């Protein structure tokens, strides 16, 4: 927990009032809250979230964070703040990842301090800061746990651990779809590598049976879990090639750190690209090189290959393996950012760094100097990985407008200003966050995939509140329109409100205090428009 608070400082001081300074923080809070709402009201409509109305299956337009939502649901049902739950899940994902890596490396090395160093690397690698606002990308605990289960299955010829490995792969999938899909490839390679050198054919056969059973469990559960995503890919189409290329790493990405990093932030401008600052750190790399040289031969080879596999997958369409797999593995066709596969390179790096730490400790005399050397390494890692303070933003309180809205008959809501260009969130994530208080369907939305009908709506309401705009809103079933002062120039906002109030087919419900110290006005569209222009 200390590593997590240190890395993300001062987030742990503001669990109820601040979130990461990014649209995805509001988006993730909404996702977790929606899952709790759907599980309590109508689980069969879990993926039919309240955005992009009248589209369906919209929770699967991005990673659905089913595991995180399930973990957060009991707290939300008990009345906990969605912001608190989101922040605890965000930080909890990092803590759980460290615990998983500690378990794996302590098992492999028999050295708790080596496990602690490996956990520190895995928890604080700059990749974490690059994705600070992405809830699902912090949940990496099932990667080392699945590795641990496979090692146990092979070392002890354990059928149960083979099954457990499959369960961990599925849990990783519902925690983060990206990692779950990539983990399937990595686990297959790891299992083959660990089974090949086994001399006892009977033990190898028993381990193989367990791992095959675990693989079958993982595949069956994955097919059920991935169905909403595959349906969306067939309906919304594959990711455009240029989009995948933009989020594919290159080798120089591993020389560039996030701008927040104290020591290496100056390397960030060397490589421009969102999600592509993948520098692993000098100390962790040196420890991993020592691990490669001094770890047991088979372990060094296995995790060296896993590291290279993670790098190759992260190259996406800039590499060869991902380009080949993309044409044959349908789940990959809905993924936008292959660079996220770099987490597997960092997991292997952490394992090897643990072996490097064990070798360093074995060369030291017993007693106090040994402990001091270990503490010095961890302190050096903390300094090199230091990136605080994290950029945070206040979590807004729900304006009175939405409390009034819940007293009105349910209906579809459209909120303005709406994005003026595709792929730009504008205030849509804020509207989604506010919808937690009412759960009425929203015309607006923000996600990894933007439905074509919403793109059309953005174009057709560009002249809002003209007749064509209101016609489009009525065609898609809109009942309520909320116009926020933020995002408009004062004269523009006043003109919009004046025109809406002057229409006979629009019913005003008054002005309310809004977020950011402004105002918002609520209107109801009459079901049958009059003769207003």
Domain ranges across the chain: 2-16+81-385, 400-525
Q: Measured between alpha carbons, how far is 400 from 512 in angstroms, rounded to an integer?
A: 7
- pLDDT value at 423 more than 70: no
- pLDDT value at 530 more than 60: no
Q: Which residue has the higher pLDDT, 387 or 359?
A: 387
- pLDDT value at 198 more than 80: no
Enter the tokens of residue 329.
Answer: 């593995």
Q: Which residue has the higher pLDDT, 203 or 382?
A: 382
**Residue 370: its pLDDT value, please?**
62
**Residue 360: its pLDDT value, please?**
83
Q: Measured between alpha carbons, how far is 486 from 446 in angstroms, rounded to an integer?
A: 18
Query: Per-residue DSSP letters for 198-232?
Result: ---HHHHHHHHHHHHHHHHHHHHHHHHHHHHHHHH
Averaged pLDDT, 141-153: 97
Q: Where is 345: in which H helix or E strand? A: helix 342-362
364-388 in b/e form (b: 16+ CB < 10 A) is eeeeeebeebbeebbeebbebbbbe
**Residue 409: its pLDDT value, please?**
94
Please choose, from the candidates 436, 417, 420, 396, the residue with its C-alpha nearest in 3D space to the C-alpha of residue 516.
Answer: 396
- pLDDT value at 422 more than 70: no
**Residue 232: its pLDDT value, please?**
77
Q: Measured between alpha carbons, how far is 335 from 232 in angstroms, rounded to an integer?
A: 12
Please report the sign of the dihedral spanned by the C-alpha atoms of residue 440, residue 446, residue 449, residue 455.
positive
CA end-to-end span of the chain, whole Å? Answer: 61
Q: Measured between alpha carbons, how far is 101 from 147 in angstroms, rounded to an integer?
A: 9
**Residue 432: its pLDDT value, please?**
96
Q: Which residue has the higher pLDDT, 374 or 22?
A: 22
User: Please, which pLDDT band fits residue 533 given cuts at 50, 70 and 90?
Assistant: very low
Averaged pLDDT, 476-500: 94
Look at residue 451 and give its three-state secondary structure. coil
The β-bridge relationship of strands 392-394 and 18-20 is: antiparallel
Task: List the beta bridge partners of residue 394.
Answer: 18
- pLDDT value at 203 more than 70: no
311-330 pLDDT per residue, tens? 999 999 999 999 999 888 87
Q: Measured between alpha carbons, how far is 503 from 305 in angstroms, rounded to an integer?
A: 68
Q: Rounded to whole angstroms, what are the CA distances from 53 to 230, 269, 412, 466, 473?
A: 20, 40, 8, 21, 11
In sequence order, the 6+-apart residues with CB closer than 8 A to the CB of 300 are: 291, 292, 293, 352, 355
502-524 pLDDT per residue, tens? 999 999 999 999 877 789 999 99
34-50 pLDDT per residue, tens? 999 999 999 999 999 99
Q: Measured between alpha carbons, how far is 10 from 59 in angstroms, rounded to an integer?
A: 30
User: Please, which pLDDT band fits residue 262 given cuts at 50, 70 and 90?
Assistant: very high
Mean pLDDT of the chain: 91
């Amino acid at each position: 927990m200390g590593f997590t608070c240190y890395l993300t400082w001062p987030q742990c001081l503001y669990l109820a009032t601040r979130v990461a300074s990014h649209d995805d923080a509001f988006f993730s809070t909404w996702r977790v809250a929606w899952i709790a709402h759907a599980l309590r009201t109508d689980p069969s409509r879990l993926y039919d979230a309240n955005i992009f109305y009248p589209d369906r299956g919209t929770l699967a337009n991005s990673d659905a964070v089913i595991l995180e939502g399930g973990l957060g649901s009991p707290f939300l049902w008990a009345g906990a703040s969605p912001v608190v739950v989101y922040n605890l899940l965000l930080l909890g994902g990092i803590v759980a990842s460290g615990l998983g890596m500690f378990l794996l490396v302590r098992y492999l090395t028999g050295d708790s301090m080596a496990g602690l160093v490996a956990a520190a690397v895995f928890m604080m690698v700059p990749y974490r800061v690059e994705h600070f606002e992405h809830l699902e990308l912090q949940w990496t605990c099932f990667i080392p746990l699945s590795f641990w289960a496979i090692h146990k299955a092979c070392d002890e010829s354990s059928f149960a651990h083979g099954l457990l490995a499959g369960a961990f792969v599925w849990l990783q999938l519902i925690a983060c779809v990206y990692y779950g899909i990539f983990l399937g490839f990595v686990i297959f390679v790891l299992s083959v590598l660990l089974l090949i050198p086994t001399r006892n054919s009977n033990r190898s056969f028993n381990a193989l049976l367990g791992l095959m059973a675990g693989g079958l469990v993982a595949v069956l559960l994955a097919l059920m879990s991935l169905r909403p995503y595959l349906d969306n890919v067939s309906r919304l189409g594959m990711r455009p090639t240029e989009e995948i290329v933009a989020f594919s790493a290159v080798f120089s990405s591993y020389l560039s750190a996030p701008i927040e990093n104290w020591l290496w932030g100056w390397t960030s401008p060397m490589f421009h690209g969102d999600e592509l600052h993948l520098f692993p750190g000098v100390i962790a790399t040196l420890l991993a090189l020592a691990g490669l040289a001094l770890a047991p031969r088979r372990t060094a080879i296995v995790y060296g290959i896993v590291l290279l596999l993670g790098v190759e997958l992260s190259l996406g369409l800039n590499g060869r393996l991902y380009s080949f797999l993309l044409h044959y593995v349908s789940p990959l066709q809905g993924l936008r950012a292959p660079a996220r596969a770099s987490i597997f390179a960092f997991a292997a790096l952490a394992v090897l760094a643990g072996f490097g730490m064990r070798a360093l400790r074995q060369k030291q005399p017993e007693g106090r100097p040994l402990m001091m050397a270990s503490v010095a390494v961890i302190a050096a890692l903390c300094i090199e990985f230091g990136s605080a303070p994290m950029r945070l933003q206040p979590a807004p309180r729900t304006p009175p407008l939405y409390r009034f809205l819940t007293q009105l008959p349910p209906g579809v809501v459209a909120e303005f200003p709406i994005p003026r260009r595709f792929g730009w969130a504008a205030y849509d994530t804020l509207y989604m966050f506010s919808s937690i208080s009412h759960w009425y369907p929203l015309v607006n939305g923000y996600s990894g995939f933007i439905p074509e009908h919403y793109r059309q709506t953005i174009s057709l309401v560009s002249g809002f509140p003209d007749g064509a705009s209101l016609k489009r809103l009525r065609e898609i079933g809109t009942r309520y329109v909320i116009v926020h002062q933020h995002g408009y120039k004062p004269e523009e906002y006043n003109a919009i409100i004046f025109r809406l109030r002057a229409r006979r087919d629009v019913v005003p419900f008054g002005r309310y205090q809004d977020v950011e110290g402004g105002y918002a006005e609520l209107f109801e569209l009459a079901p049958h428009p009059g003769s207003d222009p």
